[in-house]
Amino acid sequence: TPQYFAVNISVCHKSIDSTFHMERSRLRGVLGRLTCCSRRQLVIHHVHASLMHDASAHAGDNVRASLTDAATYVALRLDSLSVEELTSILLCLRGSETASVAACCQGIGRLLAGDTMIWNSFLRQEFHVEGVQQVNATMYRTMCSRKRCRKIEWRRVPVSRGPRNLSANPHMFCWRDHVFILGGWSFGGYGHDLLACKVVVPLEFYVVNVSGSPPPDSYHAALTLLRDETIEAGSADALHVLVTGGYIFNGHHQESNRYGILEIKVDRDDEVQARWTNGGVIPARANHSATFVPPSIAGDTFPKGYVLLLGGIQAHSTSRSADILDLSTFDSHRYSSALSSQDAWSARNSHSATLVRQDDGTHAILVLGGGTGDGHNGNSPRGGRDCDEVNWVCGLENASLQIHQASGHEPSIGRGHIACRLPCTNTIL
């Protein structure tokens, strides 16, 4: 049986083309009822010739409408629409909502089965994925599963050659099918080597020769990947890694005021090359967070983006200040006044700060956990108290920073945890 759907156009003089540019929420509500809407169930009225002449001429016998003082109701036969019109309708939905629509129209079913461009659009709209070569419904299902994250399974990974006794917050990250480890503390000394291995079982780490001038050796520094994680990884030729601060001496003494940027490249033969490209001075701090705000979010003031350094320990004391490192000029700016005026924000260290996209389309940084231990009460691992408050840092565009405490009941996170956002989602693990 041919299927129809009804669209309410709030202004009666609009043409039929307006039905394909409606608000997402309204059209979703209409199409959500398709499964119970058949030709026999839908009352189709005659077109009011004097006011619907243009719509009638555009869609012919496939359009019927009735005009009232409040609104215009238009019925369209789905299997008579063009591919472009069907695509416009579907893109007002989420990909997960198209199954019920496909059940009502064979043309939509064929479109969803064979058109990779429409799944590319779904991925762009819902997960902000760009530049992916192989796009289909399977990848979309993978992203939906990643977003829900209903199951986590721990597995022990065999390692035939790797680091030993590496502690004090070594940094671990993945890029181009390789695992990298940088920093930490090993056998009573600094773990300053860059280790790498191909993601194959068993893992076999090796030391990468790194050229250039690194920042001073430190531990409990912050490491930041300077890449836009709203875009699926793999398109960039090189990965840039920012290292800031940390402790210079054993026993959590003397915070470092240096930063360095490490450039990593992987060629077609899986050979890893690395070099330190930039270095400079920042306000000294350790046990802090450093979050990259990419150019697409940072605003015109920061054409290459910036890094927000938040909290941590400064001069042996837990801090609530914030610094901005401008990646265009590599100048640092103190923004403590913008955050210290907020009552919800308290000094902390050993917390996490993760960039996420909010429901309204804007971006914010979610600050979780932390502690208040410092040089005055037993140091960061053991002193002070755990911070259970959850805070949002908003106003990221042009660094007009504001912070407020999240509403609702959040889990107790505490200090020294690891928080990572599953790529292209708002799910934080």
Tokens of 134: 């192989």
Distance of alpha carbon 422 from alpha carbon 172, whole angstroms: 15
What is the per-residue pLDDT for 285?
94
Euclidean distance between CA atoms 6 and 58, whole angstroms:
17
Nearest residue to 230 (alpha-carbon basis) of 143, 138, 318? 143
pTM above 0.85, yes or no: no
The rounded distance, in Å, linking the Cα atoms of 287 and 255 is 9
Q: What is the DSSP letter of 238?
A: -
Beta bridge partners, 273, equal 265
Mean pLDDT of each 10-residue bin along the chain, 429 residues long: 42 35 47 39 31 41 40 56 79 81 76 81 78 73 82 89 79 92 78 89 94 91 86 70 92 92 93 94 94 93 94 93 90 61 76 88 90 90 88 92 79 85 82
CA atoms within 13 A on the CB side of 112: 24
pLDDT of 410: 66
**Which tokens belong to 249?**
């001496």
Report d(CA 267, CA 276) in Å as an integer.
Answer: 18
Which H or E element spans position 308?
Answer: strand 306-310
At residue 68, the pLDDT reads: 38
Q: Give the pLDDT of residue 57.
A: 43
Q: What is the structure's pLDDT at 207?
A: 92
pLDDT value at position 66? 39
User: What confidence score (pLDDT) does residue 77 get?
Assistant: 66
Contact predicate 101/24, CB 8 Å: no
Q: Which two tokens stand for residue 37?
A: 């809407």
Whole-number pLDDT of residue 17: 36
Residues composing the chain: 429
| Residue 402 near residue 338, CB atoms below 8 Å | yes
